[in-house]
Amino acid sequence: MLRFPIVILLFMVSFSLSCSTPSWFPLKKGPPHKAKTKELLNKEVVIIDGEEYVKVTNPKTSEGTGQSPYLYIPVNEYLSRTETFVTSIPPSGATEKGTSTSMSQTLPDSVEKEVFHVSHPSLMSQEPKRKVVLTYFDDRSTQTDETYGDWMAEKLTREVSQRSQRILFIDYQLVKEFLEKGGYVLSDLETPKVLRLLDQAFGIHALVVGHLSGPYVFTTKTIKDRDEMAKAILKVETSIVDTLSGKTLKTLSATNPIIASREKGTYSEEKAKLKAIDLAISDLSKALTRELDSLDWFCRVAKVEGEDIYMNAGRLTGLRIGDMMEVFRSSDLDEKGEQKGKIQISGFFGIDGSMGRLMDGKKPDVNDILRLSKGKGT
């Protein structure tokens, strides 16, 4: 009597294994985050304003219409239409988010009409980058055994760099070494003389200085479970100083909401501090990015040697071979001012310098101001 049900049970199991697993079966797919990671394997993912985008090849580039060679597709949209897109291949050995690729991929002709453009102002803009140096923050915390100023300045630099591709941060250590070799001390950093020197030598448009107060921690213990609970508050203030005029363009500050930093249990104080820092930096980076993005761009003539003219901005700034630069007097920052001539970029040198030759007008002088003409190079 028992053999018959057992035979039936064995038959059902073997039949179910021989068929494709139904969509409702819980073991068919892993958790959503694992499936998502698998589908994005070997894909180049970038972060823009805190959102993830997949970098794909633009098939219309081959038409010679001057379009961008790449498109940036939101991750969720990419995953819903994976077969539509083709991912671009980073340079050999380059990796991003722990992935790498070594094989080129092609785009079928039938896909071309289905690919659409996801525009983003900071990525699609061809504007040159504003050079900025962000100093380490003055730590005004009462806790002498803990300092957060240098770490928070570096964290803020990374946050702003992720939010905008129109800003180029100059390494603060490089600037410090340059000033020390010239006999200057860090207390001279905000003086008009040193600011002009940073403008002329590095092409730096603005200096960001700041200080922080905190994080201050408040701890309590609940009566019920006697677990320690901690909250922290932090205030960060920054000033944007124009290197050309020496004037403070804007003062920004951010304070985290104390209730949002609440942590409970083991190491609650340290966790609350880190959360307060993250919240304050995130808030400050948004405002700082907007202000730095709006800075007026220009560079300077660094040297004139025969027919060759050297400029203190180059490839890292976003300039390209063939770009035409308009020359203005060193004391004239108004775009409507008298134009002295035009220079066409012919090559690059150093970390971020370029060289070119006069195409029209008078030969420029050292420290003359250069602005990018509307016609871009390649």
pLDDT in tens, 257-315: 999 999 988 888 899 999 999 999 999 999 999 999 999 999 999 999 999 999 999 99
Total number of domains constituting the chain: 3
Which helix (H) or strand (E) segment is 162 a member of? helix 149-163
The overall average pLDDT reported for the chain is: 75
In-domain check, residue 13 = no
Task: Report in angstroms the alpha-carbon separations of 76 from 39, 145, 262, 278, 366.
Answer: 11, 45, 31, 25, 51
Q: What is the pTM of this model?
A: 0.63
CATH number at residue 192: 3.40.50.10610
Band of pLDDT at residue 187, cut at 50, 70 and 90 = confident
Both 289 and 311 in one domain: the answer is: no
* Sign of the torsion formed by the C-alpha atoms of 95, 99, 102 and 105: negative
Instruction: Give a yes or no: residue 3 inside a domain.
Output: no
Are residues 215 and 310 part of one domain?
no
Report, in this order, helix, strand and coil percent for the chain, each rounded to 5: 30, 30, 40
Whether residues 100 and 208 fall in one domain: no
Check whether residue 165 and residue 285 sit in a common domain: yes
Q: Which domain range does residue 96 map to?
A: 28-124
**Regarding predicted confidence, which is higher, 102 or 362?**
362
Q: Is residue 23 part of a domain?
A: no
The verdict on residue 143 lying in a domain is yes
Answer with the one of 293, 316, 334 that is the final residue of a domain. Answer: 293
